[in-house]
A and B are shown apart, each in its own frame.
Chain A
Amino acid sequence: MNFQTVTGKESLKMFELALKLKKSLFSFRYNFIFLIILFLLLKITFLFKENFVISFTGDLILIPIVYSFVKYLIRLQEKKKFSQIQLLLGFIKFEIFFILFSETSLYILSPILKDLKGLLVKPTIFIGLISGFYTFVYLLFISIILAILTILFFTRQKKNIERYYKTTIFLLILGSLSSHFQKYFDASFLEYTFGSLSVVFFILMSYLNKWVIYLSRKEKIKVIIICNILLAIVIYSMIKSGDDTGINDLIPIFSNATLTAYKFIYAFAFVYPIILQILIIFQLPVTEVIEKKTSEVESLQNLSQMISKVLDIEELVSIIIQTIERITSSRDVFICLIDEKSNCKFYSNISESRNLFDRLSQLLTSKLNQSNEKILEIDVNEFYSEENRKIEKLIIIPLLYNQKLIGYILIGKDRASIPDEDDLNTLKSIGEYSAIAIQNHHLLQKSIEKERLEKELEVAREVQKKLIPDKTPSIKNLDIAFSFIPAFEVGGDYIDYFQLDEENFGFIVADVSGKGISAAFYMAEVKGIFESLSKILTNPKDILIQANKILCKSLDRKSFVSVVYATINSKTGEIKFARAGHCPVLFLRNSEVIELLPSGIAIGLDHSKLFENNLEEISLQLQTNDLLVFYTDGVTEARNQQLGEFGTERLNEIVKQSMNKSSQAVIQKIIEELTVFSKDYPQHDDITLLAIKYLGEKK
């Protein structure tokens, strides 16, 4: 049992090892080295034996060596991603390097090569070694050129050229190997047949080269120049190798097929630049059109991407103008946007005087009354010329969003660059894109603004809520009720009461002008001022005068506060109050309503003595069941669907009918009536009501 398990484990280990070995054996690097060693062993063992089998086998081994090296180079390109032009330049570099290398070698080896013919008949080991070295150099060169060509063929290739490629390579190999049959019969015809067939397929493949199409005009011209240099080098090198003595003659000692393959590759190197040039020359005229279209599409794509990113209108318009400038290659692009007041606002990237914008504006109004949906071309011969460029035509593209005109794009053109049908179509789509971009921007801006306002109003409502007392005071002898209904947009109403001493109480009803956050903050200030003043001063008039002095300093010039401030002695029923620009106080006694309206201007209206001089204070001795109603204009100015106002008469009438009601009931009644009156019409201002009923001194 024990023994068996051990062997089991061991055999498993052996198996794993074998697997690893197999894997590494088949991996590129090991294969490559293994093949080279195999080849060298073969050559050394059977050195210079004129044996067909041996030399043929040797050359057969070379095929996978070259194959794996080419594959390695292609993988290298996948990592480095050289551009096609870089590859062509690489081609030239290797070619030059190779020529220089051959020349130098030739120079160094000249003493040996003097008697080459003799050496070839009876080669020495030394010559064999040299031949081996050069064979590998040639193979390296073949691999590199083959790799570059392969990469170029498959770049941006849409068609399946695999079959052409494989046939070319297959014919190349056949041609190369056929040199071995030279001894048995005149095999050169085989060599030439396969070779020329290979070149034919190579030419076919070259014609299917796709990458040239995608080059810009500039790049294409570059490629033509490179091709000609390459061609010159190849021709030079071909002439050179035509000489009798050369390294070329050394190669067959080691590998017969390498030299043949090398010759074919040279044929490729000669054919390829020629075909490339033909392709480019045929395409050159359409290149400009393709380039223009491509840049148009790209620009529009960019524009549509920018639409969602840019928040600033100036920036957005500037991007649109730049896009149009790029597409139309015009330097005079203007955008006019029509605002709510149907004024035109102009934007342009050129520095210019206001004068031009005014003239453009006049032009627009005079020319564009009839139709505003089509692109218009207007002759503006004498209208506008800038330095050395003349604007002879003005193209006007309306910006339409949901059939609504939101602006125009104006493009200045000279006579030479007047747009054709195709350009107009592009301009139309630019117009559409731009209109969407601008309108989106407006909508976004609006929603941001709305959100900001809503947040702000939320804060304002919160502030207002905290400033206003949350419960009605219960004071001896007095029946007090109040109601405060804030509008959605904080209206600035303020109501409060202060206990001044055991018997005396202060009441304030006020309305800060304006709405929202600013009204809320003024309210807070008003509260602070009255709270502290009521502790120092007793007379309503004095308190209002002081409050005006303080508030005039902090209120902005547009704002004012209307206030009624009253003090009541709960024991005696004596009431004093003053009014600063506020609604009257309603006084109900024996079913008679009187509007108490002492003179007084609102706080914040006047900084001087005018306020003080106009302020009147009223004193009243209340009788049992006397009722006072304080209110803000939110009550009387409440509207209904017909846009009528609730008005003072309605209010006075309700109060008049309230002789035997409690304060709470009176306020409830008023609010009920208000609700009925307004129905579904939204409340636009805060509504504040305060009712104070004197119940008389209880004994």
Chain B
Amino acid sequence: MNEFNLNHKSIEDINIIELKGYLDAHTAPKLENAISNLVNSNQYKIVVNFSELDYISSAGLGVFMAFIETVRNNGGDIKFSAMNEKIYKIFDLIGFPKIYEFYKSDEEAIQRFKSSEK
């Protein structure tokens, strides 16, 4: 019932992870694996697309916290994109916008990665 799926694609050196469904304590390990695989292969530029995510629990939020330090220390970032209002509210309540960057679309996030390189 509470399905969760993720899809990974890359544009140049930027990795886009698209989330779909319910991200909770039971499905968070899937996302954790995906990001961990990227980090292990030295891929630190990550955009997470939330457009099809219906729900996120504290365990889901924790996944991003687990990697952000390593990613930033290696000159990368985890940027969020295309989040609907409901999900954004959860992020906002907890204070994520103070620490993470949110964008309306993947393109904006990618643009941001590219412009910061220059």
Contacts and interface: CB of A to CB of B under 8 A. Distances in A.
A515 B27 CA distance: 13
A604 B96 CA distance: 11
Interface string A543-582: 0000000000000011110100000000000000000111
A515 B66 contact: no
Contacts of A645: 86
Given A514-B25, A515-B25, A557-B69, A581 B62 contact: no
A562 B25 contact: no
Given A582-B93, A583-B93, A606 B62 contact: no
A511 interface: yes
A514 B24 CA distance: 9
A558 B99 contact: no
3 closest Cβ pairs, A-B complex: A601-B95, A513-B58, A558-B62
Interface in A567-610: 580-584, 599-602, 604-606, 610
A558 B63 contact: yes
A679 to B, nearest CB: 15
A685 B60 CA distance: 14
B14 interface: no
A614 interface: yes
B25 A605 contact: no
A560 B25 contact: no
7 contacts: A513-B58, A557-B66, A602-B94, A604-B65, A605-B95, A645-B86, A685-B57
A601 B98 contact: yes
A560 B99 contact: no
Interface of A: 489, 492, 511, 513-515, 557-560, 562, 580-584, 599-602, 604-606, 610, 614, 633, 637, 643, 645, 684-685
B94 A605 contact: yes
A215 B99 CA distance: 79
Contacts of A581: 93-95
Contacts of B57: 685
A558 B70 CA distance: 13
B99 A610 contact: yes
Contacts of A633: 90
Contacts, number: 66
A509 to B, nearest CB: 14
B94 A601 contact: yes
A513 B94 CA distance: 11
B61 A513 contact: yes
Nearest to A639: B55
Contacts of B55: 637
B39 interface: no
Nearest to A599: B95
Describe A's contact surface by its main secondary structure.
Answer: loop
A514 B58 contact: yes
A559 B86 CA distance: 22
Contacts of B38: none
A513 B98 contact: no
B59 A605 contact: no
Contacts of A514: 25, 58-59, 62
A238 B63 CA distance: 94
Contacts of B25: 489, 514-515
A560 B65 contact: yes
Interface string B3-30: 0000000000000000000001100000
Contacts of A614: 95, 98
Nearest to A615: B95
A558 B66 contact: yes
A513 B99 contact: no
Contacts of B62: 513-514, 557-560
Given A601-B96, A605-B65, A633-B90, 6 more contacts: A558-B62, A559-B62, A560-B58, A584-B93, A643-B54, A685-B57
Nearest to A582: B93
A492 B25 CA distance: 12
A536 B95 CA distance: 27
Interface string B80-117: 00000010001001111011000000000000000000
B99 A606 contact: yes
A515 B98 contact: no
Contacts of B63: 558
A605 B96 CA distance: 8
B95 A602 contact: yes
B59 to A, nearest CB: 6
Contacts of A515: 25, 59
**In this complex, which of B58, B69, B86 has the most chain A Cβ atoms within 10 angstroms of its Cβ?**
B58
Contacts of A558: 59, 62-63, 65-66
Contact of B95 (A489, A584, A600): A600
